[in-house]
Amino acid sequence: MTTSKRALVTGANKGIGLETARRLAATGFKVWLGARDAERGTAAAQALRSEGLDVEWLELDVVDDESAAVAARTVAARATSLDVLVNNAGIAPGYVDALGPDERYELPPSRENIADIKATYDVNVFGPVRVTQAFLPLLLASPAGRIVMVSSYIGSIARAQDATGENQSPNIMGYGSSKTALNAITVAFARELAPRGIKVNAAAPGYTATDLNGHRGGRTVRQAAEIIVRLATLDADGPTAGYFDENGPLRW
């Protein structure tokens, strides 16, 4: 058994999750790289190990109860606690197809497909609940557990209602409301877990070039991971039940 701090990042075989895993490992964590696909997961873990980092693939499909239970048992067999959980796995089905030639989002709520919305909620909302519940015993065994929910600016109702239009987010009902729900879930877990020393916060990584948006985003994964890593490594004075980007607290 290793004595270094341990972190789990879900959906970490690519994109923001992979960069978060890299950054946490570079700061000294042993990182469990959560991925649902063996080939993609082992390849990503191997790539980080070749950079000298302590990273191991953990099979984890966040929509599957059994997968989450087995993953938690696997970690429990190898470690007495988990210090950081980053609920990063997320999907935005149909997002790229709905972008018009001028990059405006063109799928109004009245035409969104319910099957896509359900699939989105399964990964983005129920996934973090399922994984947090499965790993809670290990997180409670840490002296200072930290949970980061990877949310989005699009989850902010205040931004959706921004009358000036300056910061108004695109009207993406399924994906956006999944992140709004995730924000509420962040606060719910934070309230329960504060007395037990676990801090739970939501991070907005910003519009980042990844497969999720066909690499349309203007930010790098390095920039996106900044706030996630910061919230994952908060000291005892740090906040809980908050929603942040790298510049500070955000309006819900």
- Find the catalytic residue in 30, 121, 153, 179: 179
Judged by CB under 6 A, does residue 117 bind ligand NAP? no
Nearest distance from C-beta of residue 126 to ligand NAP, angstroms: 10
Amino acid at 104: R
CA distance 29 to 7: 6
Query: Three-state DSSP class for 147?
Result: strand
Q: What is the largest CA-CA distance in the chain?
A: 55
Q: Is 210 in the site for ligand NAP (CB under 6 A)?
A: yes
Binding part of the chain for ligand NAP, among 104-112, 157-165, 189-197, 209-217 by CB under 6 A, reads 209-217
30 is catalytic: no
Nearest to ligand NAP of 171, 213 (CB atom): 213
Alpha-carbon distances of 91 from 63, 77, 123, 178, rounded to whole Å: 12, 30, 7, 10
Q: Which H or E element spans position 51?
A: none
Residue with tokens 């409670």: 140
Of 153, 175, 207, 243, which is the active-site residue?
175
What would the two tokens of residue 247 be? 């510049």
Interface map 17-36 toward ligand NAP (x if CB under 6 A): x------------------x
Q: Segment contacting ligand NAP (CB under 6 A): 22-30, 139-147, 204-212, 237-245?
A: 204-212
Residue 68, Ramachandran bin (φ over 0: left; ψ between -120 and 50: alpha; else beta): alpha
- What mask, x for binding ligand NAP by CB under 6 A, covers residues 61 to 100? xxx------------------------xxxx---------
- C-alpha 130/C-alpha 124 separation (Å) is 11
169 binds ligand NAP (CB under 6 A): no
What tokens were used for 121? 């909620």
Write down the least CB distance from residue 212 to ligand NAP, Å: 3
Does 155 engage in binding with ligand NAP (CB under 6 A)?
Answer: no
The answer to whether 80 and 141 have CB atoms below 8 angstroms apart is: yes
**14 noted as active-site residue:** no
The residues that touch ligand NAP, with contacts defined as CB under 6 A, are 10-11, 13-17, 36-37, 40, 60-63, 88-91, 123, 150, 152, 205, 207-208, 210-213, 217
